[in-house]
């Protein structure tokens, strides 16, 4: 069972200890880079979240309200998912799928003003792309030329509470 909570320093050791294999490292930043980077950690528009599996930290991602989100959408009420990764030894257990399914509710809890989540997935990362499609995220049809190659611009409209 997974849970997601805002990053806490108590998660640092577990999250900064893992490396991604060469193929995965092309597509995602390892948490150590994020957690050791003052520019990222002190950015008040970007919040890190820890993915817990059976109460143990196994992954990390960021939600970002900076102007970077406007690369993917014109919607000012959007939020950008960034730097999503799962420890290699915990991959294949459905953790990424469960996280992506839980993400809309998490966003609505912490960011009730947000009505859309956006992110990029590298054209070469077919496994992740297919996971995102299967979990209800749409390819907007736009392409963003990222540092590591072209990316599909993924999008999901969020239900607004009334």
- Provide the CATH number for the domain around residue 24: 3.40.630.30
**pLDDT tens digit string along 51-99?**
999 999 999 999 999 999 999 999 999 999 998 999 888 989 999 999 9
Q: How far apart are CA 7 and CA 106, in angstroms?
A: 14
**16 is a domain residue:** yes
Q: Report yes or no: 116 and 154 within 8 Å, Cβ to Cβ.
A: no
Mean pLDDT of 19-34: 62
Confidence class for position 161, pLDDT limits 50, 70, 90? low
**38 is a domain residue:** yes
Residues 19, 25, 28, 34: is their CA dihedral positive or negative? positive
**131 is a domain residue:** no
Q: How far apart are CA 34 and CA 60, in angstroms?
A: 9
The domain containing residue 88 runs over which residues?
A: 2-115
Q: With a threshold of 0.85, does the pTM exceed it?
A: yes
Q: Report yes or no: 19 and 30 within 8 Å, Cβ to Cβ.
A: yes
Task: Look at residue 26 in the predicted model and tell me its pLDDT.
Answer: 52
Which parts of the chain are beta strand (E)?
2-6, 46-53, 56-64, 78-86, 116-122, 138-146, 149-157
| Number of domains within the chain | 1
Residue length, the chain?
162
- Give Cα 60 to chain centroid, integer Å: 7
Task: Look at residue 52 in the predicted model and tell me its pLDDT.
Answer: 98
**pLDDT tens digit string along 150-159?**
999 999 999 7
């Amino acid at each position: 069972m997974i849970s997601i909570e805002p990053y806490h320093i108590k998660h640092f050791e577990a999250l900064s200890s893992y490396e991604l294999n060469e193929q995965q490292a092309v597509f995602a930043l390892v948490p150590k880079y994020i957690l050791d980077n003052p520019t990222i950690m002190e950015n008040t528009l970007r919040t890190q979240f820890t993915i817990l599996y059976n109460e143990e930290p196994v992954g990390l991602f960021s939600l970002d309200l900076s102007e970077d989100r406007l690369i993917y959408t014109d919607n000012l009420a959007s939020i950008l998912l960034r730097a999503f990764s799962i420890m290699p030894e915990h991959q294949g257990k459905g953790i990424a799928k469960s996280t992506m399914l839980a993400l809309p509710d998490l966003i609505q809890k912490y960011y009730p003003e947000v009505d859309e989540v956006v992110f990029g997935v590298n054209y070469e990362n077919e496994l992740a792309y297919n996971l995102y499609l299967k979990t209800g995220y749409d390819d907007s049809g736009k392409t963003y030329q990222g540092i590591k190659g072209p990316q599909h611009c993924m999008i999901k409209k969020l239900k607004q509470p009334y």
